[in-house]
């Protein structure tokens, strides 16, 4: 396994191909896909325009060790739609968040990092609690005020909607208050939009809240199915990155033309999409899942079902659910040709490639099976 989340007992299905909303394994069994490679494939598998653009780019060369026009075009489109002064392209969400945090420490000359309990920002040191990194609960503004009052922290990194402990939404006013506290304490606010960026609309989630973070990270959707990620933010901070400043960060594959081509074409397609369609599909899935009697959290294009009847507003709530029951739901769905995340703390995704009939059929089944499992049958 080249990523541990892909493993489930006794062994995972090996996939061979995908088109639209469906994938096929090596035995040619067909699945309706609501995993979508853990989120990047908002257009579904192998969208024709993206495939064509990538093929044309590969014929011209895969890597040059020099700037290309497409990475500039991608950067201009993303910067405009995200209201960012400057950006830097890297390869993965882990890289993007790691370098954003490193840059925050460099810029503020502070050593400590604050994150949200249950928030996931990759597999670098700063994602795990240590003498450098501390964590607080999501949706608890008082905890953030208390810990940042000492003005020791370089940054607070936060997902605007939590997505790796299940979907957990910010309560009204929470993100806005976080921004106020970080400004008052000189702590840089890093909004991690690796999952949420361009998912609920052709914009980052922070734009919906009219926030202006100091730094932002993107990955998944913006790469169009290829390795591509972004960190960016205020010019004052980003100018510290070499070659204009003294902050060291480089990468042989950063901004490579094939990924830039896929990302650029994906953003162009999304700029033409009616996101109300994706919202309607999500609302249908939520309505059906809620008939199970269990707790369902969602945002456009992403949702989670928790084996509890109470609210889930932070990681501690999620951990107190009957999470051991979720794998049975995954197994029943898999046997019926429905592919969802194998772990309770991952998100179920819906794409523009899905239709009402597929969503209704799949989530009616998932809801009925979840209710049976909850009732012990």
Mean pLDDT of all residues belonging to the chain: 97
103 with 188, same domain: the answer is: yes
**Same domain flag for 284 and 266:** no
Q: CB within 8 A of 326, min separation 6: which ones?
A: 307, 343, 344
H or E stretch at 291: none
Q: How far apart are CA 282 and CA 302, in angstroms?
A: 7
**How many angstroms separate the CA atoms of 228 and 248, rounded?**
19
Counting every residue written for the chain, the total comes to: 377
Domain count, the chain: 2
Residues with Cβ < 8 Å from 208, sequence gap 6 or more?
200, 201
153, two tokens: 């922290």
Q: What is the largest CA-CA distance in the chain?
A: 63
Residue given tokens 């997505």 in the structure block: 163
Same domain, 250 and 328: no
User: Where does the pLDDT of residue 377 fall: very low under 50, low under 70, confident under 90, or very high at 90 and above?
Assistant: low
Is the same domain home to 106 and 252? yes
d(CA 306, CA 297): 8
- DSSP assigned state of 13: P
- Residue 209's pLDDT is 93
pLDDT digits (tens, 9 = 90+) for 258-302: 999 999 999 999 999 999 999 999 999 999 999 999 999 999 999
Question: What is the mean predicted confidence (pLDDT) over 321-326?
Answer: 96
CATH number of the domain at 335, please. Answer: 3.90.1150.10
E strands of the chain, at which residues? 15-19, 22-25, 30-33, 86-90, 112-116, 133-136, 153-158, 188-192, 215-218, 229-233, 295-299, 302-306, 338-339, 348-349
Q: Which of 271, 287, 313 is the last residue of a domain?
A: 271
User: What confidence tier does 38 reach under pLDDT thresholds 50, 70, 90?
Assistant: very high
One domain, residues 205 and 337 = no
Are both 159 and 296 inside the same structural domain? no
Rg (CA), the chain: 20
Using a pLDDT cut of 70, give the percent of the chain over it: 100
Mean pLDDT over 358-364 rounds to 98
Are 202 and 313 within one domain?
no
Which pair of tokens denotes residue 56?
């044309």
At residue 91 the predicted structure's pLDDT band, cuts being 50, 70 and 90, is: very high
* Residues 141, 19 within the same domain: no
Same domain, 262 and 310: no
- Provide the pLDDT for residue 21: 98
Instruction: In whole angstroms, give the CA distance from residue 205 to residue 161.
Output: 8
What are the catalytic residues? Answer: 120, 192, 220
Q: 43: domain range?
A: 4-47+274-375
Question: Which DSSP string do the residues of 88-122 spell out, in sequence order?
Answer: EEESSHHHHHHHHHHHHHHHHT--EEEEETT----
Nearest Cα residue to 201 out of 262, 277, 263, 259: 277
User: Percentage of the chain surpassing pLDDT 90?
Assistant: 99
Residues near 176 by beta carbon (within 8 Å), at least 6 away in sequence: 209, 211
Q: Locate tokens 């239709």: which residue?
A: 355
Please tell me the distance from the alpha carbon of residue 237 to that of residue 255, in angstroms, as a whole number.
20
Token reading at 93: 């969400």
> Do residues 190 and 308 share a domain?
no
d(CA 216, CA 237): 12
Residues 263 and 315 in one domain: no
Rounded to whole angstroms, how far apart are CA atoms 21 and 376?
Answer: 31
Who contacts 316 (Cβ-Cβ below 8 Å, separation ≥6)?
117, 137
Residue 40 has pLDDT above 90, yes or no: yes
Same domain (yes/no): 179, 81: yes
Domain's final residue, options 245, 271, 297: 271
Binned at pLDDT 50, 70 and 90, residue 193 comes out as very high
234 pLDDT higher than 90: yes
Among 53, 55, 60, 35, which residue's Cα sits nearest to residue 45?
35
Domain boundary among 220, 239, 271: 271
Reduced to 3 states, what is the DSSP secondary structure of residue 78? Answer: helix
Residue 210 sits in a domain whose CATH number is 3.40.640.10
Q: How far apart are CA 128 and CA 134, in angstroms?
A: 8
- Look up tokens 């995972």; give the residue: 12
The residues facing 90 across adjacent strands are 229
Of 92, 57, 94, 61, residue with least CA distance to 73: 57
């Amino acid at each position: 396994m080249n990523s541990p989340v892909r493993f489930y007992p006794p062994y995972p299905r090996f996939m061979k191909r995908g088109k639209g909303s469906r994938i096929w394994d090596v035995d040619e069994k067909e699945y309706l896909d609501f995993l979508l490679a853990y989120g990047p494939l908002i257009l579904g598998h192998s969208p024709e325009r993206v495939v064509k653009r990538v093929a044309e780019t590969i014929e011209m060369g895969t890597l040059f060790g020099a700037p290309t026009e497409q990475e500039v075009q991608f950067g201009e489109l993303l910067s405009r739609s995200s209201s960012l002064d400057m950006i830097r392209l890297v390869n993965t969400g882990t890289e993007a968040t790691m370098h954003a945090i490193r840059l925050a420490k460099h810029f503020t000359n502070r050593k400590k990092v604050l994150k949200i309990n249950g928030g996931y920002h990759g597999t670098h040191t700063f994602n795990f609690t240590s003498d450098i990194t501390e964590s607080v609960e999501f949706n608890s503004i008082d905890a953030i005020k208390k810990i940042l009052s000492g003005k020791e922290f370089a940054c607070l990194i936060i997902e605007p909607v939590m997505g790796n402990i299940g979907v957990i939404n910010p309560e009204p006013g929470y993100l806005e208050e976080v921004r106020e506290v970080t400004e008052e304490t000189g702590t840089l606010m890093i909004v991690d939009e690796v999952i949420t960026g361009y998912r609920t609309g052709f914009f980052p989630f922070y734009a919906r809240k009219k926030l202006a973070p100091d730094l932002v990270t993107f990955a998944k959707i913006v790469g169009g199915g290829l390795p591509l990620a972004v960190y960016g933010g205020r010019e004052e901070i980003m100018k510290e990155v070499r070659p204009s400043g003294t902050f060291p960060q480089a990468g042989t594959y950063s901004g490579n033309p094939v990924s830039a081509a896929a990302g650029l074409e994906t953003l162009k397609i999304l700029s033409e999409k009616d996101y109300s369609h994706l919202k309607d599909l999500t609302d249908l899935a939520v309505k059906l899942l809620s008939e199970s009697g269990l707790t369902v959290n969602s945002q456009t294009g992403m949702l989670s079902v928790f084996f509890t009847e109470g609210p889930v507003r932070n990681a501690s709530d999620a951990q107190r659910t009957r999470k051991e029951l979720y794998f049975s739901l995954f197994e029943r769905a898999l046997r019926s040709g429905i592919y969802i995340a194998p772990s309770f703390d991952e998100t179920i995704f819906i794409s523009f490639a899905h239709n009402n009939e597929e969503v209704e059929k799949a989530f009616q089944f998932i809801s009925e099976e979840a209710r049976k499992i909850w009732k012990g049958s």
